[in-house]
Amino acid sequence: MSDRRAIIIDTDPGQDDAIAILLALASPELEILGITTVAGNVPLELTTKNARKICELAGRPETPVHAGASRPLMRRLVTAEHVHGKTGLDGPDLPEPTMPVQPQNAVDFIIDTVRAHPDGHVTLCPLGPLTNIALALIKAPDIAPKIARIVLMGGGFFEGGNTTPAAEFNIYVDPHAAHTVFTAGVPIVMAPLDVTHKALTSNARLDALRAKGTPVCDAAAALLDFFDRYDEEKYGTDGGPLHDPCVIAYLLRPELFSGRDCHVAIETGSELTMGMTVVDWWRVTKKPANANVLREIDATGFFDLIVERLARL
Ligand code: RIB
Ligand code: CA
């Protein structure tokens, strides 16, 4: 397909990251130039192992996986084993990966890949803390105007935070990296908790996945069965929010989403609100918009897309 969209997925798998990666691997509209891993849900060694497990589950062991930052720019690493389990990919028992980790580190891979393609060709898809993206922009500021877009899962505003009352996990873990990314001048599409909390898995939606009867769909359902339990208990809902696949679904079917161009600033001073994404939704500051902030989703269309695509693997 000549109009395939070239993407780099930056990720901290994580069950929801896994579904996002599977959705991308199942979608011929996307050319995955590489997967870069970052410390987040679990330490870097595990996120890098998990990314390879997912590629092999999808039957795509040729996918380049590059390991990146093992900790945030300035703060100590905060992980989320209580959500994702000690492996970061609890649920199904996936085999140890045999595919290699690429020798080039993730940051240099991002820099070299963006430089090697025409301006506006490569889209970055961060699904975890923004440490790798920030390091690439700091090390090679020349890539900023060459990046097509950064389509990321992170932040929250009307929905508040999921790690502190003010901050969502990806931004909270590395707020300084997020500040670097949101002030780099690269076009951003932001999928915050305000939209991901409207994309709830449910027993019926997981049943639809299981009904496909394929190894990938069975594994995906098992991943989500485990992942959901924490948020179901926390929010008292049938099912939990499916965060990271919103990034890939936006690339495939942007019409499933709606949002608004807003100025977004990142709190990096106050410990009380550290990592808060301050979204000027009502444009009271008159500051220029630096992100398209998604707030609505067609959840039925979203899950139909996921089930249809994962069944292809
Ligand atoms: O807050 C949700 C985000 O944090 C998701 O990306 C999830 O995988 C975790 O990284
Ligand atoms: Ca993630």
> What is the per-residue pLDDT across 193-224, written as a single tens digit (0 to 9) for each?
999 999 999 999 999 999 999 999 999 999 99
Q: Is the CB of 244 under 6 A from ligand 1?
A: yes
The number of the ligand nearest the C-alpha atom of 84 reads 1
Distance (Å, whole) CA 268 – CA 87: 30
Q: Which atom belonging to ligand 1 lies closest to the Cα atom of 243?
A: 5
The number of the ligand nearest the C-alpha atom of 156 reads 1
Neighbouring C-beta atoms of residue 28, cutoff 10 Å:
10
134 Cα: distance to centroid of ligand 1 (angstroms): 18
Distance (Å, whole) CA 235 – CA 162: 10
Q: Is the CB of 180 under 6 A from ligand 1?
A: no
Q: Which atom belonging to ligand 1 lies closest to the Cα atom of 163?
A: 1
14 Cα: distance to centroid of ligand 2 (angstroms): 6
Contact predicate 156/266, CB 8 Å: no
Residue of 201, 234, 244 to test ligand 1 pocket, by largest number of atoms within 8 Å of CB: 244
According to DSSP, residue 101 is labeled P
Q: Can you give the pLDDT at residue 2?
A: 53
How many separate helices (H) and strands (E) can be counted in the chain? 12, 10
Average pLDDT, the chain: 97
Distance (Å, whole) CA 144 – CA 111: 10
Q: Are strands 257-262 and 291-297 parallel, antiparallel or unpaired?
A: antiparallel
According to DSSP, residue 5 is labeled E
Q: Is the CB of 170 under 6 A from ligand 1?
A: yes
CATH of 5-310 given 3.30.450.20, 1.10.600.10, 3.90.245.10, 3.40.50.2300: 3.90.245.10
139 Cα: distance to centroid of ligand 2 (angstroms): 24
Show Cβ contacts of residue 207 under 8 Å, excluding neighbours closer than 6 positions. Answer: none
pTM over 0.85: yes
Q: Can you give the pLDDT at residue 310?
A: 98
- What residues have their beta carbon closer than 5 A to ion ligand 2? 12, 14, 17, 127-128, 244
Going residue by residue through the chain (313 aa), what tens digit of pLDDT does each one get? 457 999 999 999 999 999 999 999 999 999 999 999 999 999 999 999 999 999 999 999 999 999 999 999 999 999 999 999 999 999 999 999 999 999 999 999 999 999 999 999 999 999 999 999 999 999 999 999 999 999 999 999 999 999 999 999 999 999 999 999 999 999 999 999 999 999 999 999 999 999 999 999 999 999 999 999 888 889 898 889 999 999 999 999 999 999 999 999 999 999 999 999 999 999 999 999 999 999 999 999 999 999 999 999 9
Q: Can you give the pLDDT at residue 154?
A: 98
Distance (Å, whole) CA 120 – CA 122: 6
Q: Is the CB of 14 under 6 A from ligand 1?
A: yes
